[in-house]
Amino acid sequence: MFVTRQAEEKYKGMTKKIDSKIVGYSIKKTEAANLDSAPIKELMNEEIDRPEELKGYTYKIKTPLSDHAMYITINNMLLNPGTEHEQEHPFEIFINSKNMEQFQWILALTRVISAVFRKGGDSVFLAQELKQVFDPQGGYFKKGGRFMPSLVAEIGEVLETHMKKIGLIKPEELSKEHRALIEEKRSLLNSANSDQLDPQESGYPEGSELCTKCNVKAVVMMDGCMTCLNCGDSKCG
């Protein structure tokens, strides 16, 4: 084996001659070796068994399409308790109603959603997909002027609300300055049109248009621009 002078000079400073007798030694542990003792972040998967008790939330839906209310219960699994990765994750969903006309498809929907929850991964898409479902016979307006394209879409909104509550979805919030401006303009419009408020008690002037972003009838002409008094969306940016 031939070693060039340049290589010899390079490695010369990397060697150290030991003149004294070796009486002991130790192996230096690297950072990679210490990773084995670090706690492993647990993710939702099908191998996790259901405990005897789960924390859950129940939401009520009352639509003009039925005389009976619908109650949606979503139970959560607590993952990585007591660690920095502690997180609630939806585990199962139940929907109860006295309206038996919708029993079959509601049962199928809850089983599919629960299966996706337990499968693991990102389940946020469920809420987004359900909210896009529309009823060909037409949707309905909820109290407050919010439009729902279908009952399935409202179930999707409940899922979204629940995921925001447990931290899986970060809610979009307006800045304090923007919100203060919207509230100021809304108060001025309501004062000037106190006799023309929406009969559905939405709190928005009568004749307000439907906002394509938040689905609330709250879009009015404000300072020469169509602006939503609910979410702040503006055609002028």
Query: Domain map of the chain by residue range?
Result: 55-165, 176-228
Q: What residues does 70 pair with on adjacent strands? A: 61, 97
CB 162 within 8 A of CB 77: no
In tens digits, what is the pLDDT along the chain, a chain of 237 residues?
555 666 566 556 566 667 777 766 676 665 555 555 566 888 888 889 999 999 999 999 998 888 899 999 999 999 999 899 899 999 999 999 998 888 899 999 999 999 999 998 889 999 999 999 999 988 898 887 888 999 999 999 999 999 999 999 987 776 677 677 777 767 776 666 655 555 455 577 777 888 888 888 888 887 778 888 888 788 776
Q: What SS3 state is found at 60?
A: strand
* CA-to-CA dists, residue 214 to 35, 55, 105, 180, angstroms: 46, 30, 27, 19
CB 206 within 8 A of CB 196: yes
Radius of gyration of the chain (CA): 30
CB 72 within 8 A of CB 59: yes
pTM: 0.69
Tokens 């308790």 correspond to 81
